[in-house]
Chains A and B, each alone.
Chain A
Amino acid sequence: MSTRTTAKASWAVGNTIVVVAALVPVLWLASLSFKDPSTIADGSFIPTKWTLANYRGIFQTSLFTRALVNSIGIALIATVLAVAVGSMAAYAVARLRFPGKQVLVAVTLLIAMFPAISLVSPLFNLWRQLGLFDTWPGLIIPYLTFSLPLAIYTLSAFFREIPWELERAAQVDGATPLQAFLQVIAPLAAPGMVTTAILVFIFCWTDFVFAISLTSTSASQTVPAAIAFFSGASQFQTPIGSIAAAGVVITIPIILFVFFFQRRIVAGLTSGAVKG
């Protein structure tokens, strides 16, 4: 019994270390965001003078609010498109026999490994010529491309778990394969689609390389790009408080996802990984 208690205690110590290590940088940023400008450089981990001025400040300028709207809009549209297009392909991969499936899976994998920086210069030039530079579609299109491998792997792993018999039963009853997909499989696949949507949203939400390369103004700049170019009141002052507050604001959706969908996120990441 006492060895069990020691074992429990040592696990608890290990867990505590992990949790602290995972949370301290986030708490530090939150602490900075609540610090009064006069104490922001005091190096103390816990604010000595609390204030909401940093939050009021960023929501008063359109710089941050526009970027927030861009981030939310672009990530949501890319997520919806990726789940829709990815579901079709994943259904085909999981359920249908057709030549070229191997090639599709291989190409998908290659794209998952594609270095984003390799696309930055050609896309920058192409987008300028096509008028897509600094527009929402200019970011949505690359996000869609790079989230599709993730979407296809995760979704096809989920789709494979759905019982075949139901689809066949529907087809025997006279449904076309498409009807079988929309009316029988899709509702059963909904949990997998939600999981995939969360993973894709996180991917789009956190992107930085495309965001700073393919945008230049508040017309399409997302929050990560905008805060990287925040400037202080004078050139000698970095806007630490504003950046910290903006960072906390865009971390909130992530924390909500983690709290409400923890199980799904883990299942989605690992199902995609084991099977692909």
Chain B
Amino acid sequence: MTVQSGVPGVAQAPPQAQPRHRRAASLSEGARAERRLGWLLCAPAVIVMLAVTAYPIGYAVWLSLQRYDLRFPAAREFVGLANYATVLTSSLWWTALGVTVFITVVSVAVELVLGMGLAMIMRWALVGRGAVRTAILIPYGIVTVVAAYSWQYAWTPGTGYLANLLPSGGAPLTEQWPAIFIIIAAEIWKTTPFMALLLLAGLSLVPEELLKAARVDGASAWQRFTQVILPLMKPAILVALLFRTLDAFRIFDNIFILTAGANNTRSVSILGYDNLFTALNLGVGSTISVLVFVAVAIIAFVFVKGFGTAAPGQEVERR
């Protein structure tokens, strides 16, 4: 191939590259060079990632311990855990947390079922697999805000094709539970494709011969699904659930457009945003930021420890 022509300047190559595979002493020098290069190559990524997450989250903890209202900057003072007491005794926080958990659980559960069906269509459909793949990538790639507007107008009385199917006088987006179910539907429409693709990756690891053998042994379709496919797909399912659960818990865009958090449809992310940008309260806003972070960390911990999701990172290492 073009290896030769692709590597000019053979003569000027630094000396340590040459004897690397010949003697133990120089091999360790090569290993040291490799180690240095490894760190060097990772440094920019690590710096950017930590500078924009670790430092700000530390700063958020610091801000959360202060009374800091941008409308009254002079009143800024250290108040210890008072902001946490304020948030954790507020019914707004608990309502938002309840709404967020409800949306997360329902949408992820429905997505798992629909996503599994979609993955099977994409693997085994006799016709039109390509069309399905292409079609479902559009919900995946579309701007969530744009999709949310489509749903909002569809459910707006008078304007929308869906609202017009309802008995007249209904305005589902102005009532708590109907609005929450519309939010869930919008979330499911947007993110099921991602779930389906993650599951498809796991499904394609199930060997066709195994399924054929099970069929020969007289296993029904349902038995093949529960006893052959599901056990083999467990790691993929857990990874998909972990990613989608954390993602759903952060829900923001759909709610912001569909209801703006009116009628007790706020998620914890919307609540944090409102406290910061409507109330201009950096102290309480940061407290909510920290609490959301803690909640996400707990969910991740439960998945990794409780369900034995091989932390995907380790899997990378093994390959």
Contact = CB atoms under 8 A, between A and B. Distances in A.
B153 A118 contact: no
A230 B38 CA distance: 48
B145 A208 contact: yes
Given A209-B269, A270-B198, A274-B202, A118 B57 contact: yes
Contacts of B219: none
A14 B114 CA distance: 12
A269 B7 contact: no
Nearest to B20: A171
A14 B124 CA distance: 12
Contacts of A172: 21
Contact of A183 (B7, B145, B154, B200): B7
A180 B10 CA distance: 11
A179 B256 contact: no
A74 interface: no
A68 interface: no
B197 to A, nearest CB: 5
A252 to B, nearest CB: 11
Q: Name the residue among B46, B63, B149, B163 with the largest chain A CB count within 10 angstroms.
A: B149
Interface string A157-197: 00010000010011111111111100110010000000000
Interface string A111-128: 111111111111111100
Interface stretch (B85-93, B101-109, B287-295): B287-295
Interface residue SS majority, chain B: helix
B137 A258 contact: yes
Contacts of B158: 41, 43
Given A44-B161, A213-B277, A11 B127 contact: yes
A273 B138 contact: no
A116 B250 contact: yes
Contact of B317 (A101, A148, A169): A101
21 contacts: A8-B126, A22-B139, A23-B138, A40-B159, A85-B44, A92-B42, A104-B45, A106-B311, A109-B311, A109-B313, A115-B293, A117-B292, A119-B56, A122-B286, A124-B276, A156-B316, A206-B141, A209-B252, A224-B146, A265-B137, A274-B205
A243 interface: yes
B306 interface: no
B257 interface: yes
Contacts of B257: 228
A22 B138 contact: yes
B60 A118 contact: yes
Contact of B161 (A43, A92, A96): A43
B138 A170 contact: no
B135 interface: yes
Contacts of B200: 266, 270
Given A23-B135, A121-B63, A276-B316, A258 B141 contact: yes
Interface residue SS majority, chain A: helix
Interface string A248-269: 0011001101110010011001
Interface stretch (B11-19, B169-177, B209-217, B220-228): B11-19
Chain A interface residue count: which class?
A: 35 or more
The 6 closest A-B pairs by CB, nearest first: A98-B38, A174-B13, A270-B201, A247-B146, A122-B56, A145-B52
Contacts of B17: 171, 174-177
Contact of B296 (A102, A113, A255, A270): A113
Chain B interface residue count: which class?
A: 35 or more
Interface string A197-216: 00000100110110011000
B32 to A, nearest CB: 10
A96 B146 contact: no
Given A270-B197, A276-B316, A244 B153 contact: yes
Contacts of A156: 316
A113 B241 CA distance: 12
Interface in B111-146: 117-118, 121, 125-128, 130-139, 141-146
Nearest to B260: A228
Nearest to B120: A14
A152 B44 CA distance: 12
A47 to B, nearest CB: 12
A88 B42 contact: yes
Contacts of A119: 52-53, 56-57, 60, 289
B195 to A, nearest CB: 10
Contacts of A100: 38-39, 42
Contacts of A67: none
B79 interface: no
Contacts of B138: 22-23, 26, 251, 254-255, 258
Contact of B37 (A177, A206, A257): A177
Given A44-B161, A266-B133, A206 B154 contact: no
A175 B158 CA distance: 69
A233 interface: no
Contacts of A102: 313-314, 317
